Amino acid sequence: MLKDWNQRWSTPRTANVLAVLVFVGTLAFLIAYMRVKGGLDAPPALGGDAVDYVQIATHLAAGDGFTRDGLTPAVDRPPLYPWLLSITFRSGVRFDLMRWGQAIVLALVTSLVARMLCRRIGPAPVVFVPLLLIADPRVRTMGAEILTEALACGLVTLLWGTLSKWEKSPNYRYAIVAAGTLTLAILCRTMIVVWIPILACVTWMNWGTFATDKVRYLLVFYGLPLLLFLPWGYRNVAVLGEFYPLGTQGAEQAAASRSDEAFARRGMWYNLDETGFFDQVSKDVSRPLAIRRAELSQAAANAWTKQHPFKMLLLPPLRIFQEYRPHGPGDLFVLAFAALGLVLVWRTPEGRVARGIVLAQTLTIGMTWSVAGRFLYPLLGILHYLAIIGLWGACSALIGDRQSVRAKLLLPDHQPEHES
C-alpha cells in the first residue's frame, strides 16, 4: 500500500512543493538553533582559520586588497569565502549576515536532496530529512561557523546534482553549469582541484555518447574552469614572483602531512606554527615570507619521505581511516546508512556521480591529511541523500518481509520451560 501511495504522489509538482517546505523548515531550524545558542552575531573563537578569514575580509571591505595587514598580499587562502564575507562587512563587522547566508545555502542543500529523493523513489522518504538534521550535528556546526564548509557543501551538492542531470541528458547547458560550479568550489576549497582528473575519468566512463562528443564535453567541463581560475592563478604568481598559481597553503603545510609527528598522529593535521617549526625559516627578506615558509616545509617533508618510505606508504590509509571513522553517534548513523544507500543506487546517475565525488575526496584526503572528519563536511548533502535511501531501503525491506523475519528470529509464544 505504501509503495502504491508513493508512486501515486511521485510527480514533479509534489517534488517541488516538498522541496519548498523542506527549505523553509531547514532555514527556520538552523536560525532558531543559532539564536538559542546565542551565536547568530557572535564573533568566531580566537585561533583557527576563522580569524584569518575575518582579517582578510575586513581589509577587503576597507579597500586594502586581499591582505591580513593591509600591506602584504595573502597567498595561502582561496578567495571566494573571504570575498563573500567582506560583502557582509561593508556596513560594519556583522557576523549574523554571513550566518544567515550559510543557513540559506544549507537549506538549499536539503531542498535539493528532498527534490532528488522525490524524483528517485517518491515523496515518502522525505520524512527522514528532518531526522538526519537532528541526528547529525555537523549540519548545525557548518551553519554557525565562520568557515568555508557550508559554502563548500552547497557547491559540491550542486555539482553532484548537475553532473547527475548531465549524465541523464548530456548537453552544453549542464556542462557550463557544472564547470562554473567546479570553478567556484576550487576558489572556495583549493584542494578540490585534485578532483579534476578523477572526475574526468568518472564522467568519461559514465557518458553513453560517442568519443568525439565526450571530448567536446570534457573540453567545456575542464577548459572553462581553467579559464575562470586563470585570473586568480595569475594574481598569485604575480605577487609571489614564482609559480604558485594555487597559492602556498599546500606547500606551507607539507611538513604537517609528512613528518614523524604526522605519523605519530596517524595522519592527523597539526599546527606547524604552534610547534615552532617556522622559527627556522630563512631570513632573506628579499623573497616573500610565504615562499620561504613553503620551501622550508617542502624540504623537510621531502627529506622525511626519503628517510621513511615505508611509513609514507602507510600514511594515506591512516589519513583516510582517521577522516572516515565516526567521531560521534550522528557520524556513525549517517555513514552506515549512506553505505547501504550507495549500494542501492550504485547503477543510477546519482549513485555513479556520488561515488565518483566520494572517491575523489577520499584520494585527496589520502594525499594530504585528516582533520577529524571535517573534510567530509562538503559531502554531507550527498551523504544525507544516500543515508536516507539506505534508511528507506532498510525500513521497506523489514516491513515488506516482516513475517519471514519474525519466523526466523522469534521463538514460539508457548515454548516449554526447562527446569534447571
Name the band, by pLDDT with cuts 50, 70 and 90, for residue 209: low
Average pLDDT, whole number, for the chain?
A: 90
Place of cell 522525505: 126
The pTM of this model reads: 0.92
How far from chain centre, in Å, is Cα 52?
20
Burial environment of residue 185 by CB neighbours within 10 A (0 to 12, 13 to 18, 19 or more) = buried
Question: 198 and 363 in contact (C-beta within 8 Å)?
Answer: yes
DSSP-based three-state secondary structure for 370 = strand
Higher per-residue confidence, 403 vs 239:
239
Q: Going by C-beta distance under 8 Å and a sequence separation of 6 or more, which residues neighbour residue 47?
A: none
Q: Across the chain, how many H-helices and E-strands are there?
A: 20, 0
> Closest by alpha carbon to 352, among 244, 206, 209?
206
Please give the share of the chain, as a percent, with pLDDT higher than 90.
Answer: 69
How far from chain centre, in Å, is Cα 160?
11
pLDDT at position 173:
87
pLDDT at position 420:
45
Q: Which of 259-268, 281-290, 393-402 has the lowest mean pLDDT?
A: 393-402
Place of cell 515518502: 124
CA dist 300 → 76, 118, 182, 317 (Å) = 19, 52, 32, 22
Radius of gyration from C-alpha coordinates of the chain: 24
pLDDT at position 395:
83
Higher per-residue confidence, 10 vs 240:
240
Residue by residue, DSSP assigns 55-117 as HHHHHHHTT--SBSSSSSBP-SS-SHHHHHHHHHTTTS--SHHHHHHHHHHHHHHHHHHHHHH
Cell of 276: 615552532
For 77-127, write each residue's pLDDT tens digit.
Answer: 999 999 999 999 988 888 999 999 999 999 999 999 999 998 888 888 888
CA dist 170 → 122, 167, 216, 408, 415 (Å) = 24, 6, 11, 48, 62
CA dist 302 → 259, 287, 308 (Å) = 9, 22, 10
- Residue 168, pLDDT > 90, answer no
DSSP-based three-state secondary structure for 268 = strand
| Over residues 276-283, mean pLDDT | 93
| Over residues 155-165, mean pLDDT | 95
Please give the backbone phi and psi of residue 268, each rounded to the nearest 5 degrees, phi first.
-75, 140
